Amino acid sequence: MIDDRYVEISNLVKAYPNPFGEAVKVVDGFNLTIKKGEVIGVIGHSGCGKSTVLTMVAGLNEISDGGIVVAGKEIDGPGPDRAVVFQAPCLLPWMTAYQNVMMGVKQVYPHASKQQRRVIVEYSLSVVGLADAMHKYPRELSGGMQQRVGIARAIALKPKVLLLDEPFGRLDSLTRMELQDVILGILDREKITTMIITHDPDEAIFMCDRICMMTNGPRAKVGQVMTVDFERPRSREEIMETDQFYAYRQRLLQFLDDCEAEKHGGGPIRFDTEEAPTESGVAPAAS
Ligand SMILES: Nc1ncnc2c1ncn2[C@@H]1O[C@H](COP(=O)(O)OP(=O)(O)O)[C@@H](O)[C@H]1O
Ligand SMILES: [Mg+2]
C-alpha cells in the first residue's frame, strides 16, 4: 500500500565540503518510512543533521546519495506537495498577512476563482487564530503571530507533506505552547502527513505519533524510533498526568545522553569552555 509508505527516505546521504574542500558525509544511510497522515518527530543534538534531512525532503537541498519518494513519486526539487515552515516565517513586509498567504495560493491554484482563493486564505488564517488580524502588516504582529501567518501560508497550499523545522524555536514558552496547540489542532483535524524537527522531548511526545531519534554526526542516521501511543485528539494536561509520558521522556533523554557520551568517546569529558582549572588541576564539572 502506498499509504503505508507515503514518504520513503532510503539510504539518504548528504556530503558537504569542509573548509579544505573535502566532502564530509554529515548524514549517511538515513532510512525512514512515514505513513499517510502520520506525524513524525525528528529529535537529535544540535548540528547532527536534522535540517539537512528536512531540507532534502523539501527538495531545497541536493541529495548526495539515496532517494526520497513522496506519494509514489521520487522527489526532484521543491514542489507544492511539500510545504515548509522554518523558525522564522520570512514574511514580505509590504504585504498584509492575508496578502502573504494569498501569494502562495495564487501560485498553487492558478485556475481557482477569486472567491475560491479568498475562502482558502481566510480559512487558513482563521484556523491559526488570525481571523481578526488578517489585514495587518508583519510589523504590526508579534513574533508568535508572524509564525502563525507562516503556518497559515503552509497549510493553505493543502500540502501532501508538512515539514516543520523547529517552528517554535524563537518563541517564548507561553507562545510556544499556544502554537503547539494550534498545530496539534490542525493535525488532529486535517490528518496532514507531517515531519517536525524539535529538540524538545516534551514537544515531540505531545505532537507526534512516532519519534525518530538521530545519532550525532558526522554520518548521522536514525538511531531509534519510538511510537507514542496517545490517542488523538490529545490534551496536554491529560497526557502529562500519565506515567507513560514520563517513560517516553526518559527514553528520549537517555538516547540523547548516550549520544553525548559517545561523542566524548567514552573517555574523560572534554571541556569546550575556557574555564580555568581549579586548584586541584581539574576543570570544574559542567552544571
Ligand atoms: N551548506 C552547508 N555547508 C557545509 N556544511 C553544512 C551546511 N549546512 C549544514 N552544514 C553542517 O552540517 C551539519 C548538520 O547541520 P544541520 O542539518 O543544520 O543540523 P541540525 O539541524 O541538526 O542542527 C552541521 O555540522 C553543519 O555545520
Ligand atoms: Mg536545524
Can you list the domains of the chain with their CATH numbers? Answer: 1-81+192-287 (3.40.50.300)
List C-alpha distances in Å: 117 to 55, 93, 95, 187, 244: 28, 21, 17, 22, 44
The ligand 1 atom nearest the CA atom of 166: 21
State whether residue 115 is helix, strand or coil: helix
State pLDDT tens for residues 181-225.
999 999 988 999 999 999 899 999 999 999 999 999 899 999 999
CA distance 171 to 177: 9
What would the mean pLDDT of 49-67 be, rounded to a whole number? 98
CA-CA distance, 175 to 147, in Å (whole number)? 10
pLDDT at 279: 44
d(CA 76, CA 57): 9
pLDDT band of 266, cuts 50, 70, 90: low
- Ligand 1: atom nearest CA of 52 is 17
Question: pTM score, two decimals?
Answer: 0.91
Average pLDDT over residues 159-170: 95
Distance 53 CA to ligand 1 centre (A): 10
Q: Ligand 1 site: residues with CB under 6 angstroms? A: 16, 26, 44, 46-52, 217
Over residues 226-236, the mean pLDDT reads 94
Atom of ligand 1 nearest to the CA of 50: 22
The ligand 1 atom at the shortest distance from the C-alpha of residue 17 is 4
Q: Can you tell me the mean pLDDT for 92-103?
A: 98
**Which ligand is in closest contact with the Cα of 216?**
1
At 104-118, the pLDDT tens digits run 999 999 999 999 999
Total number of residues shown for the chain: 287
Instruction: Write the residue with the smallest CA distance to atom 24 of ligand 1.
Output: 47
Residue located nearest, by CA, to atom 6 of ligand 1: 16
Mean pLDDT for 262-266 is 73
Atom 8 of ligand 1: nearest residue by CA position? 52
- 31-45: pLDDT as tens digits: 999 999 999 999 999
How many Cβ atoms from other residues are within 10 Å of residue 184's Cβ?
A: 19
Pocket test of ligand 1: the residue of 28, 42, 48 to mutate, having most ligand atoms within 8 Å of its CB, is 48
Q: Which residues surround ligand 2, an ion (CB under 5 A)?
A: 51
pLDDT at 254: 97
Structure confidence at residue 275 (pLDDT): 44
Kindly identify the ligand whose nearest atom is closest to the C-alpha of 30: 1
**225 beta partners:** 212
